[in-house]
Structure formats: structure tokens, C-alpha cells
Amino acid sequence: MVWEYFTIETVSAGCRRACCNRCKQSFAYSTGSKVAGTSHLKRHIAKGTCPALLRDQYNNQLTPYNPKTGGSEPRKRRYRSPSSPFIPFDQDRCRHEIARMIIMHEYPLHMVEHPGFIAFVQNLQPRFDKVSFNTVQGDCVATYLREKQSLMKLIEGIPGRVCLTLDMWTSNQTLGYVFITGHFIDFEWKLQSRVLNVIMEPYPDSDSALSHAVAACLSDWSLEGKLFSLTFNHPTSEAGLENLRPLLCTKNPLILNGQLLLGNCIARTLSRMAKDVLGAGHEIVKKIRDSVKYVKTSESHDEKFVQVKNQLQVPSEKSLILDNQTQWNTTYQMLAAASELKEVFNCLDTSDPDYKLAPSMEDWKVAETLCTFLKPLFDAASILTTTTNPTAITFFHEAWKIHADLGRSITNEDPFISNIAKSMLEKIDKYWKDCSLILAIAVVMDPRFKMKLVEFSFTKIFGEDAPTYIKIVDDGIHELFLEYVALPLPLTPTYTEEGNAGNNGKTDESQQGNLLSDQGLTDFDVYIMETSSQQMKSELDQYLEESLLPRVQEFDVLGWWKLNKMKYPTLSKMARDILSIPVSAAAPDSVFDIIIKQLDEYRSSLRPETVEALICAKDWLHYGSEESNALVKMEF
């Protein structure tokens, strides 16, 4: 920085001085072999002692408005404090920060052309050249490409496989946008997820829409051979699945004969079940909504409601809310709060004669029945919004509990209850049929449960047929393990996985694993694999036969596998992939949606490439420079 402001001048033989280009003062720099250094030069320009820099800075400041009078006060000179060094203006850096701001806060790209924004920036820094829509669009895409380079290096180096979730959005132009998110476990055994692509599909209901999007993603990120599972959020026809399977089979080695490649989103399953419940009682829901609306849309009505509640000494702590009919959780919360306050509604007409909407006791009974069905769905779906990384292990518990409860409700003598239970059971049955193997294998990878919880829960669900289904899981886990034993090198040796993860790719002479692999002992690994197959197979049996770990609430299953990867070298690789399978393709703010998400009108007007750049870059910037710490540092 110093030599942007100073020039070295030779005063005499062996004597050189540094001359400030701005104020022309000169400072000692070198005499003979002694060099004075640059600290005193930095102080001159950074601590506010250079009068020329101070003058420039003062001229760039916004002058406060002072009405002109007969006698004007002399201007007060501003001196820079030591804590605020002089920072030269950088047009490129400002453009970069504007692009980041637009991406992170979803501002419209056209804001840079708005008169208010231009006036604000010109007052803040007159030297900033205003930018156009096309310029800032290019800057946003450049930011996206820089972040993508970093993320690609991260994904290329992960030791395991990648799972994808597909979330189909629509637009007011009936175009589809497939949001594809990748989920994987990194070198530190931390579960990671990143939005990889947002692909525009002109015909979202076609049988080829999802297969086209998946093919584009696999090609874009070089994931052929690394894809482990797919979870989709959009109802997919059988023809659509048939289009998807051959693509996956040709692009990805079949793991467990492809049974883990396709899975339904638990959030959408729960939402469809909740929609059935609310549909069965829609007339009662409307009555209660109208009553809540009467109270909440008028301050005087609300005051009378609170007054009656206090008089009746109703113990409920819940507050009335008016629901958002596109999110079923708000309707459940409205019904639950209103049901606890039904006595207040029943007596409200005594204090407010205009209130004529009170539901009957029979209506309240139906509302409580609806809440009984909705509560377990709400509790299960809430895990997706409150847990950072909800796992298949958690939802094995939730799915079989809901399944078991509905199995009992279907025999209820009340036809209203049994009909709702039957409709819900059909949907959880389909989910269980499609995903129970994935969920069960994930449970087996938890050392607190292993096969024991599978045996216990299947007995509850399937009764006498339980042994058949338990055998399917047991055979599946052993077949999957054998496939991992047979995986080609270099994925199998233990040291390959961890070799260069901790030193950013630098070779450490003391790491004997790397040295051995470089000295021609790869054939030794093959020999070990060929002669120790029986020993490798028993690795899974050894794990299953060991006693269960205590069931502690805050158990880190990935941390356990990280600590035990040397004991179970092959099984830990299998656990890494299985435990990365996502159960939901919905974003946390969309878990309770009962309609398809729609891209807003502004973004729908942009080019598909720009939409993808803005959405993906926002997701990546959220993680800051986590990847760069271990891989690459981008300089701007």
C-alpha cells in the first residue's frame, strides 16, 4: 500500500529518502545498508497526518446544509482518528458488494437504475460510477461462478456419495422450476446440503421433466457414479418414474438394485394427510375461522373476548390466530387455540349481542377430533423446521407411530373417525411401502437401535407377517454391505478417505499411508480384499452382535461413526452414505404448504440462467467461506 503514495528518491550516494506523492514531504528510507522500514510511512497516510489526503477526504464528504447568513462560521477541520485508517476508493469492490447485497436479500436487479438508489449512492460516494441492469446482472453471475468453483472442489473431494432432492416450483406463466439440492457428508463427518441447480422446465407435468433436470444436474456437477438416492417433492407418475430409472441405472452404479434411488418426501406426505383431515371437516373449520375472524379483526370485539375469558377464568394460555389457508399448521393452531377457548365463544354473545357465529357443541367435538388427527402430523413436520439436519432415523420413529395410531383408529365405531383414518392410512401406507427400507436401514446404522428397533416396530405394524418384512431389511443390509466390500479401489482403503483432508492437499512426509500407496502397494490392497472377504463380511455381523449403546437424547450418530471408522472401515463408508439420505425435499419454510410453491413474477421475468445464479448463490453465500478454509480462498 505504501508505494502507491511514496516514491524513493536518491539524495546522495548511499542515502535514499521516501517522498510523499501528495504533500511532497520526504522521510528517511535508507542510509548505506540500514533500511528504516515503512511503518512511519504507513502512519503518514493512514493516521491522518498527510494534509493532502485530509484535504481530498474532506472534499469528498457530504457538506451539511447551513443557511447562508451575514457572518459565516469558519469550517471545522476534521482529523482522522487512529482507529479509522484511510481506505482508497475501489469501484470494482463496490460493484462486487452491490451484487452480493442483491443476491443475499433478493433485491430486484433493476434497483441499481432506480433514481432513489442512484441519489443515495452519489451522496455516499460521488466517485462511484452508476451501474446498469446488465452490468449488475453480469456481476451477480460472476459471483455465482466464483462460488460454484469453490463448491465444485468441495464436492469433487468428498469421500462418499451425494443424495439429491427435487422440489418442483411453478410460475404464473405455467413454467416449472426444479430446485435440485445436494446432500452429502464431508471429511469432518458433518452433514452438508447445497442448492446445486434451478432448472426451468417448460412442461412441468410431462413424464420427462424430472429426468431431464436430473440428467442436467449430474452432467453439470460430474456426479455420474456418485449419486446415491433421490427424494422428490412433486407427485410423480409411474411413467415419470420409468423414465427416471433407466437414466439412473446408466449414469450411476446400482446400489441395492436401485431400491434406494427413489423416495417420497415426508413433508408432502404429511401435508396431503393434513389436507384430508381438514377437507373432512371443512364446514366446521369455516365456522370456527369466521368466529376467530370476528374477534381478531376488531379491537373492540377482541377486548370483549378477553373480558369474557377473564370472567370465566379459562386457564388456556393460547392466543387466537387467524390461519393462512396455504399452510395447514396455522389452521391446526387456530383450531387448537379456539377449542381450548370454546367456553368463551359460547358465552361471548352475553357480552357482545352482535356475535351470532358461535359453533355448536357438536361442532367443537368435531374440531377436537380434527386436532387429534393433526397433532401427530404437526409434531412430526415440526421436526423438519426445528432440526438442522433431520435424519431418516428420526422419521422411522415418526412414520411407524403414525401408522400404528391410524391402524387403531380405522376400527373406531364412529364412521367420521374411521373414514378419516382410512384416507390417511392409504397415504402413509404408500410412503411406508416406498421408503420403509431406506428408513429401516438408516435405523440399523444407529448403534442405539440396530435391528432391534426394526424388529420391535415391524411386529407392531405387520403382526404375524413381521418376520417376512424383518428378513427383507436384514437381507437388504447384508446385500448392501457386500456391495460396499466389492467397491473398486481407491474408494475402499481407509487412508484414501482421510489422506489429504486435513492439510489442504499438501503431502506430509510423516504420513506413511500416503507414502505406502505411492510406493506400489496398491496390489497389496487388492490382495487383502481377495483373501479377507469373509473377514470383511463379518464386519457387519460384528457390529450387529455388539450390545446397543445407551439411548441418550443428544446422541451424535455421525460423530460415533467418525470415531469408529477405523474399527469398521467398510461399514463406516456405508453409514456415511445412508445417513446422508434426506427425508424431505421441502425447504423449512415450505414444510406445511398445501399448494405448490410459485416463483414470483419478477424472477419469472428473468432469464433462467440468471434465476439459477441468484438462487444458488444466495444459498452458497449463506455458508460464507466454510469451503475455502479447507480448499480454496477466492480473492476479489
Among 336, 356, 387, the domain-final residue is 387
Pure H helices in 313-414:
328-340, 342-351, 361-386, 392-409
Cα–Cα dist 296/357, whole Å? 14
Q: What pLDDT digit, counting tens, does each position of 588-624 carry?
A: 888 999 888 999 999 999 999 999 999 999 999 988 6
Q: Is the pLDDT of residue 120 over 50?
A: yes
Give residue 387's pLDDT.
67
Q: Are 22 and 111 members of one domain?
A: no
Q: Are 143 and 18 members of one domain?
A: no
Q: What pLDDT digit, counting tens, does each position of 531-585 carry?
A: 665 554 468 999 999 999 998 878 889 999 999 999 999 999 999 999 998 888 8
Give residue 531's pLDDT.
66
550 is a domain residue = no
592 is a domain residue = no
Q: Are 564 and 419 members of one domain?
A: yes
- Bridge partners of 28, per DSSP, are 17
Q: Are 446 and 575 members of one domain?
A: yes
The better pLDDT of the pair 6, 82 is held by: 6
Give residue 611's pLDDT.
96
Q: What pLDDT digit, counting tens, does each position of 288-304 carry?
A: 999 999 999 999 999 99
Query: In the chain, what percentage of residues exceed pLDDT 70?
Result: 81
Give residue 197's pLDDT.
96
Cα–Cα dist 467/218, whole Å? 39
Q: What pLDDT digit, counting tens, does each position of 318-352 carry?
A: 889 999 999 999 999 999 999 999 999 999 888 88
Position 70 confidence tier, pLDDT thresholds 50, 70, 90: very low
Position 78 confidence tier, pLDDT thresholds 50, 70, 90: very low
Average pLDDT over residues 354-370: 91
Cα–Cα dist 412/418, whole Å? 5
Average pLDDT over residues 115-124: 92
Q: Which amino acid is at 318?
A: K
Q: Are 340 and 454 members of one domain?
A: no
Q: Are 467 and 480 members of one domain?
A: yes
43 is a domain residue = yes
Least confident piece of the model among 232-236, 343-347, 360-364: 232-236
Q: Are 126 and 226 members of one domain?
A: yes
Position 247 confidence tier, pLDDT thresholds 50, 70, 90: low
Give residue 254's pLDDT.
60
Please give the model's pTM, rounded to 2 decimal places.
Answer: 0.76
543 is a domain residue = no
Determine whether 210 is exposed, middle or buried from the number of CB atoms within 10 Å of its CB (0-12, 13-18, 19+): buried
Q: Are 142 and 205 members of one domain?
A: yes
Phi, psi of 347 (to 5 degrees): -105, 0
Cell of 130: 452508476
Among 336, 360, 387, the domain-final residue is 387
Cα–Cα dist 122/107, whole Å? 19
Give residue 251's pLDDT.
56
Least confident piece of the model among 421-425, 503-507, 518-522: 503-507
The better pLDDT of the pair 105, 352 is held by: 105
Q: Are 382 and 397 members of one domain?
A: no
Q: How many residues does the chain have?
A: 636
Number of domains in the chain: 4
187 is a domain residue = yes
Q: What pLDDT digit, counting tens, does each position of 478-499 carry?
A: 988 888 888 764 443 333 444 4
**Omega before 488 within 30 of 0, i.e. cis:** no
Q: Are 16 and 148 members of one domain?
A: no
Cα–Cα dist 585/606, whole Å? 25
Cα–Cα dist 452/398, whole Å? 16
Position 234 confidence tier, pLDDT thresholds 50, 70, 90: confident
Pure H helices in 107-192:
115-124, 133-157
436 is a domain residue = yes
Position 55 confidence tier, pLDDT thresholds 50, 70, 90: low
Among 387, 408, 435, the domain-final residue is 387
Phi, psi of 82 (to 5 degrees): -60, -25
Cα–Cα dist 390/165, whole Å? 14
Please say whether the dihedral angle defined by the alpha carbons of residues 37, 40, 46 and 49, taken in this order, is positive or negative.
Answer: negative
How far is residue 458 from each of residues 394, 461, 462, 512, measured CA to CA in Å? 16, 5, 6, 47
Q: What pLDDT digit, counting tens, does each position of 136-178 carry?
A: 999 999 999 999 999 999 999 898 889 999 999 999 888 999 9
84 is a domain residue = no
The better pLDDT of the pair 584, 76 is held by: 584
Give residue 73's pLDDT.
45
Q: If you average pLDDT over every residue of the chain, what do you get?
A: 82
505 is a domain residue = no
Long-range pairs for 447-451: beta carbons < 8 A, 24 or more residues apart = 447/543, 447/546, 447/548, 447/549, 447/557, 447/560, 448/548, 448/549, 448/550, 448/551, 448/552, 448/555, 448/557, 449/393, 449/548, 450/543, 450/544, 450/548, 451/544
Q: Are 372 and 404 members of one domain?
A: no
Long-range pairs for 403-410: beta carbons < 8 A, 24 or more residues apart = 403/428, 403/429, 403/432, 403/461, 404/460, 404/461, 405/376, 407/461, 409/373
Q: Is the pLDDT of residue 518 over 70?
A: no
Please give the residue range of the domain that contains residue 218.
Answer: 90-264+599-625
Q: Is the pLDDT of residue 634 over 50?
A: no
Q: Are 394 and 380 members of one domain?
A: no
Q: What pLDDT digit, counting tens, does each position of 383-393 carry?
A: 888 766 667 88
Q: Is the pLDDT of residue 217 over 60?
A: yes
Q: Angle at Cα 542 formed by Cα 537 and Cα 547, nearest 5°?
A: 155
Q: Is the pLDDT of residue 372 over 90?
A: yes
Q: What pLDDT digit, counting tens, does each position of 413-464 carry?
A: 999 999 999 999 999 988 888 888 888 999 999 999 999 999 998 888 888 8
